[in-house]
A and B are shown apart, each in its own frame.
Chain A
């Protein structure tokens, strides 16, 4: 009788980049649908433009580097970059702004550093920061969430498409009539004008915790993120680090002075905190790699987000925080190398280990 012999590993791990990226994309679908529901079809157009130019940039760079275009295009990483960019950009963004961001993300931030796996900076955030710095006036057309009771003008699908393609609004509509400051903007300018948090939170765009509509996108992103955690596609250290790094100072400041500091719930559901914690900071290429390092990396991002939101000149600081911590990753990885069993990485440690035994 012959027994079939099995050898370890008994369960094959998911190692293919494309299935990983597809699952990340799938986890973003509910939030994307919520985004379209609350902020109109602009998100879809942004995503299409970003995906088109990211894929074109990827194909161009792969052919310049004499690699097979299929290898890079079928791993869907350019699509993930495009999706993150679409989440970061306002729903009314002219196409050339989105295209610049997508091309910069793929061509400069990814391929000039050696392609997927070698890039130092998160491509989507690098692309976003470039357009944020280069076209500041084109990046503030956030529309108000469609909640039924808020008084403002909607754009139809065709009008949104026309704006995306030409950058001009339909006759008789002004930028002021359709766009609203984001909750973080309102909070920042309100606090700068010496108003109290309670006064600011009475403005109708504010919801239970963050901004109306925004909270729901945040919830769906959190669902997607938890699913990624369960599927073990991302590790818990980075999201937990980001939340602790952001919410700890937010809670302390809120407890010290409730009038001039937004509540931790507002920080959690305002802006891109949840997107950052589950989808941006967890990019396996640009994040730290050791377990302890991941936590430190997330913690740094959270702290930086809080500092930029509270004392910086930009309303949200996710992109800057992620890029700054990307730079710190080599140092973090160096300082948090896990102890290798059987290796003495220092006289002191081996001595104390001997005493314990």
Chain B
């Protein structure tokens, strides 16, 4: 492939971020990001499923009939999600209870089907795994950023119940304030947070464009 790994990471984490730019998988993104640990947990689960599904779809792409490809993708993703769900139930029972239905619902995360359809079904296994890693981390990073933001403003804490993921005694995390702004924990807060994140990304992109437009044209050509 002509694109290097670093460039690929830039695309997945920033330029084509599945949540921020493609606006895919918004249901879990909005529903579980009330705390940092929930966002991180679901982010890791989605990342694992996305990498594995990209690998499997890419490996079997020669045998999948185009007419029935989407059901096959869903079948592959569903089996992987079942595995992940069992893993969560076995090793992270608290986190599994906290995330609830949204672990099984990873099956319906359109970010995963989209990557299978757009990328994995027409690229070799290695690049597909890297694509899964890149896109999954873009999604996971957004999840935990929004989770941290909402937890900080909504509860006044950060990393509370992080033990659900890393084991140990239940912790309250960094307590910065006793009370928070309840609105951000409630569903509307998720929409506001996502909207703010998208607005921030667009603002940064706009600023960058302006500053690159200010530099002389010749320098830009050389930089490429």
**A residues apposed to B, CB below 8 Å:** 130, 133-136
Contact = CB atoms under 8 A, between A and B. Distances in A.
Nearest to A133: B183
B15 to A, nearest CB: 25
Contacts of B183: 130, 133-134
Nearest to B189: A134
Q: Which 5 A-B pairs have the closest CB atoms?
A: A134-B183, A134-B182, A134-B181, A133-B183, A130-B183
Given A133-B182, A133-B183, 8 more contacts: A130-B183, A133-B186, A133-B188, A134-B181, A134-B182, A134-B183, A135-B182, A136-B182
Nearest to B186: A133
A135 B179 CA distance: 10
Contacts of B188: 133
A76 B183 CA distance: 29
A134 B180 CA distance: 9
A104 to B, nearest CB: 9
Interface in B171-214: 181-183, 186, 188
Q: Which of A130, A133, A134, A135 has the most CB of B within 10 A?
A: A134
B207 to A, nearest CB: 14
Contacts of A136: 182
What does DSSP make chain A's interface, helix, strand, loop or mixed? helix
B193 to A, nearest CB: 13
A135 B181 CA distance: 7
A135 B180 CA distance: 9
Q: Which of B182, B183, B186 has the most CB of A within 10 A?
A: B183
Nearest to B182: A134
A334 B186 CA distance: 33
Contacts of B186: 133
A136 B181 CA distance: 11
B91 to A, nearest CB: 36
Interface string B16-51: 000000000000000000000000000000000000
A130 B186 CA distance: 11
A159 B63 CA distance: 79
Interface string B151-186: 000000000000000000000000000000111001
A136 B182 CA distance: 9
Nearest to B199: A112
Interface in B98-132: none
A136 B188 CA distance: 15
B186 to A, nearest CB: 6
Contacts of A135: 182
Contacts of A130: 183
A88 to B, nearest CB: 17
B190 to A, nearest CB: 13
A322 B40 CA distance: 38
10 contacts: A130-B183, A133-B182, A133-B183, A133-B186, A133-B188, A134-B181, A134-B182, A134-B183, A135-B182, A136-B182
Contacts of A134: 181-183
A134 B188 CA distance: 10
A136 B186 CA distance: 13
Contacts of B182: 133-136
A133 B188 CA distance: 10
A134 B192 CA distance: 13
A134 B186 CA distance: 9
Contacts of B181: 134
A134 B181 CA distance: 6
B154 to A, nearest CB: 9
A133 B181 CA distance: 10
Nearest to A100: B181
Nearest to A108: B192
A323 to B, nearest CB: 12
A135 B183 CA distance: 8
Nearest to B192: A108
Nearest to A136: B182
Contacts of A133: 182-183, 186, 188
A272 to B, nearest CB: 22
A5 B181 CA distance: 64
A352 B188 CA distance: 49
Nearest to A134: B183
Nearest to B183: A134
A228 to B, nearest CB: 33
A135 B188 CA distance: 14
A102 to B, nearest CB: 15
B220 to A, nearest CB: 27
Nearest to B184: A134
A136 B183 CA distance: 10
A46 B188 CA distance: 26
A130 B188 CA distance: 10
Nearest to B188: A133
Nearest to A132: B183
Interface in B79-96: none
Nearest to A131: B183
A133 B191 CA distance: 15
B202 to A, nearest CB: 13
A142 B112 CA distance: 51
Nearest to B195: A112
